[in-house]
Chains A and B, each alone.
Chain A
Amino acid sequence: MPALPLDEAGKYVAGAYVVFLTLIVVYVAIIGAKVARIDRELGELNELAGESGGQAGRSRPAEGPASPEEHGAGSPAEVSR
């Protein structure tokens, strides 16, 4: 087949390069969407960690003797008895 004239060949060449660039752009966009999802989930986890940290902080006095007054008794010696 004889070589195509430039104006006709240009469409094919442009088509081939557009296919390549589209593939790369779509691929990077999909990875970008995944990274955005990871970022969002990380924010949720940070909130969850903050909440559980707060709960742990609130529940810590009940788990162990923080001060003698909280036992409702006198001195630590009386408690141990």
Chain B
Amino acid sequence: MYAKGLKSLSIASVVAVAAALALVFFYAPLDADQGFVQKIFYVHVPMAIVALFGFVAGGVMAIKHLRSGDRTWDMRSYVAIHLSIILGVGVLATGAIWAKASWGHWWVWDEPVLVSFLVVFLLYCVYYPLRFSIDDPERQARYSSVFAIAAGAFVPLNFAAVRMAESFTHPRVLSQTGGDLPAEMRLTFLACLLAMALLFVTLWKLELTSKNASMQLKRLRAKLLAEADARAAA
């Protein structure tokens, strides 16, 4: 069901990531202000953007679940949020490394970009205990979807708040027109964003394939055991 096109998608992801890394280290010029450290931007920012889009996508899938009652949408939403949290760990870690190299501190509490992303990340960390504290699968899916929708709506708010916030500390490399980046850097950034998005979709499909196979296996085992019991009773 989910495995269709996974092989070609995986190959495309590997090629895209390799090409993006080649562009980062062999094509994009060094930043005049930050120097070589600015290369972290090409992994940190696409990862943050894809993670935030993943959270929103999880919310949209949760809406589809509540509207249709089809629990496969809940599973898709769960996997999207799960992957986004993993990318969120990467965003926080690479952000801390970049902060230490640029500002001399691992974390700056008065920086709205960092703190708002941390708030979003911690909000989604609540998703796991909420989801797995409910045994009934129907209720679990329904409650998780409600959470995913509410939290997903919060993500654009976070983005807007960061854009509106005045800050002289955080490097502002993407303006509304995208005009602050030189052409080579913009191309490299877009390649990195595409590679990260492809990687996200590939891993999402991979985990869904694994979960789907696992569930089918459980059903098959239950069916076979029930048949064996029925034969033994007869």
Contact = CB atoms under 8 A, between A and B. Distances in A.
B94 interface: yes
Interface in B34-85: 34-37, 39-40, 43-44, 47
A1 B227 contact: no
B88 to A, nearest CB: 10
A38 B37 CA distance: 43
Given A3-B37, A4-B35, A20-B47, A45 B89 contact: no
A31 B86 CA distance: 14
Contact of B221 (A17, A19, A20, A41): A41
Interface in A1-18: 1, 3-4, 6, 9-10, 12-13, 15-17
Interface string A35-48: 10010011001001
Interface stretch (B99-107, B136-144, B183-191): B99-107
Contacts of B111: none
A12 B98 contact: yes
A52 B101 CA distance: 64
B101 A12 contact: yes
Listed residue (B40, B102, B103) with the most chain A CB atoms within 10 angstroms of its CB: B40
B22 to A, nearest CB: 13
| Chain A interface residue bracket vs B | 20 to 34
B39 A13 contact: yes
Interface size on B, as a range, is: 35 or more
A56 B36 contact: no
Contacts of B199: 24
Contacts of B203: 24, 27-28, 31
B86 A23 contact: yes
Contact of A9 (B36, B86, B89, B227): B36
Contacts of A80: none
B44 A38 contact: no
Contact of A19 (B31, B97, B102, B227): B97
Given A9-B101, A34-B210, A20 B90 contact: yes
B227 A52 contact: yes
11 contacts: A4-B37, A13-B39, A16-B40, A17-B43, A20-B90, A23-B86, A24-B203, A38-B217, A41-B221, A48-B224, A55-B228
Interface of A: 1, 3-4, 6, 9-10, 12-13, 15-17, 19-20, 23-24, 27-28, 31, 34-35, 38, 41-42, 45, 48-49, 52, 55-56, 59
